[in-house]
Amino acid sequence: MSEENKHRATAAAILPLVGGAGNVTSVAHCMTRLRLGLRDRSLVQDEALKALPPVMGVVEDDTYQIVLGPGTVARVTPEFEALVEEGRADAPGEPVAPAAPAGGSDPVTAEELAAQGAALRAERKAKNATPFKLFLRRIANIFVPLIPALIGCGIIAGLNGLLVNLGWLPGVTPALAAIASGFMALIAVFVGYNTAKEFGGTPILGGAVASIVVYAKVADVEAFGQHLSPGQGGVLGALAAACLGVYVEKRCRRWVPESVDVLVTPTVTVLVSGLATLFGLMFLAGEVSAWIGDAADWLLAHGGAGAGFLLGGLFLPLVMLGLHQALIPIHTTLIEGSGFTVLLPILAMAGAGQVGAALAIYLRLPRNTSVRTTIKSALWPGFLGVGEPLIYGVSLPLGRPFVTACAGGAFGGAFVGLFNQLGTDVGSTAIGPSGWALFPLLDGNHGLARTIAVYAAGLLVGYIAGFVATYWFGFTKTMLAELNAAPDEQAPASPAPVAAEERVAEKV
Could you read off the pLDDT of 220-246 as tens digits, one per residue?
999 888 899 999 988 999 999 999 999
AA letter at 5: N
Please say if the pLDDT value at position 127 is more than 90: no
Active-site residue 252, yes or no? no
Predicted TM-score (pTM) of this structure: 0.72
Alpha helices in 299-395 (DSSP H): 305-321, 327-338, 343-347, 349-364, 369-383, 388-390
- Under 8 Å between Cβ of 318 and 418: no
Please say if the pLDDT value at position 141 is more than 60: yes
pLDDT band at residue 384, thresholds of 50, 70 and 90?
confident
Position 150 scores a pLDDT of 86
Q: What are the φ and ψ backbone dihedral angles of 59, each rounded to 5 degrees?
A: -135, 130
- Under 8 Å between Cβ of 245 and 273: yes
For residue 485, give every residue at least 6 positions away whose Cβ sits within 8 Å of its Cβ, in sequence order, or none: 108, 367, 368
Per-residue pLDDT tens over the stretch 63-72: 888 988 777 8
Question: Which is catalytic among the residues 30, 153, 243, 406?
Answer: 30
pLDDT band at residue 117, thresholds of 50, 70 and 90?
low
Rg (CA), the chain: 25
Q: Pick the more confident residue, 100 or 245.
A: 245
Position 5 scores a pLDDT of 82
Q: Pick the more confident residue, 486 or 104.
A: 486
Position 224 scores a pLDDT of 87
- Under 8 Å between Cβ of 507 and 479: yes
Position 118 scores a pLDDT of 61
Average pLDDT of span 485-507: 42
Task: Choose the weakest-confidence range: 79-83, 228-232, 324-328, 376-380.
Answer: 324-328
Position 508 scores a pLDDT of 37
